[in-house]
Amino acid sequence: MLVRISGVLSPEEISRCRKILEEASWVDGKVTAGEQAGKAKHNLQIPEDSAAAREVGDIVLRALGRNPTFTAVALPFRVLPPMFNRYDTGMSFDAHVDGAIRGIPGTGARMRADVSSTLFLSEPEDYDGGELLIDDTYGRHSIKLPAGDMVVYPSTSLHSVSKITRGSRWASFFWTQSMVKDDGQRTMLYELDKAIMEVRQLLPDDNRAVVALTSHYHNLLRRWGEL
């Protein structure tokens, strides 16, 4: 399931994030890639343990916490602290699949990466190229969103970032361990959740159909969810 979410960050939050990142130090993005991905990765990143990464990461996490669409799509159990990358002219990331298990910084714990997210911090007109290309059973999706918008997709997806030919593309990226690890089951729950919201616009909450649909949603989540 691939879902675009608009307005995750407000204009004020985007400006604040950009200011912090502009003043921060960037390093070669290969430092956070595995052996295979490192050969395909050509970008810059903010060090995960830097004050800038923590400060901007907190802004992103607060925004996710108030976003009902992200919650409905990802059904988050754990969210890895957001990271930040930058593609300048000539940079790209060849086709790859994200690693299945990620270490949680500073804890020694690990988590499963079920859902990948890219939150754009640059406006599309600020750069040429730099599309996020995601392959799934329906073909290839080319994603280039306004600053503050985000795309959420299964971490099992083959994806890449096309070469930048002008300007610079900045973004936040992170992984989520979902309460429901199977993407097909998450998709069914998300579609059912959307249908319930639409029915509730037409019928009162105590209507038998609304109660039945809501009950089915929670019982499916109870059956498939892992904590």
List the domains of the chain with CATH numbers: 3-178 (2.60.120.620), 183-224 (4.10.860)
- Work out the average pLDDT over 103-109: 89
> Of 100, 105, 102, whose CA–CA distance to 154 is shortest?
100
Position 106 scores a pLDDT of 84
Distances (CA, A) of 17 to 54, 59, 84, 131, 211: 11, 8, 10, 21, 42
Q: What pLDDT does residue 36 have?
A: 59
The region of weakest confidence among 16-20, 29-33, 56-60, 202-206 is 29-33
pLDDT reading at 101 higher than 60: yes
Lowest mean pLDDT among 22-36, 47-61, 172-186: 22-36
Q: What percent of the chain has pLDDT over 70?
A: 97
Residue 32 pLDDT level (bands cut at 50, 70, 90): low
Quote the pTM value: 0.94
Residue 34 in this model has a pLDDT that exceeds 70? no
Q: What is the pLDDT of residue 30?
A: 77
**Percent of the chain scored above 90 by pLDDT?**
90
pLDDT digits (tens, 9 = 90+) for 111-169: 999 999 999 999 999 999 999 999 998 899 999 999 999 999 999 999 999 999 999 99
Is residue 95 within 8 A of residue 160, CB to CB? The reply is: yes
Residue 23 has pLDDT above 70, yes or no: yes
> What per-residue confidence (pLDDT) applies to 39?
72
Would you state the pLDDT for residue 118?
98
Report the mean per-residue pLDDT for the chain.
Answer: 95
- Alpha-carbon distances of 214 from 35, 200, 204, 205, 219, rounded to whole Å: 45, 10, 13, 10, 9
Is residue 93 within 8 A of residue 173, CB to CB? The reply is no
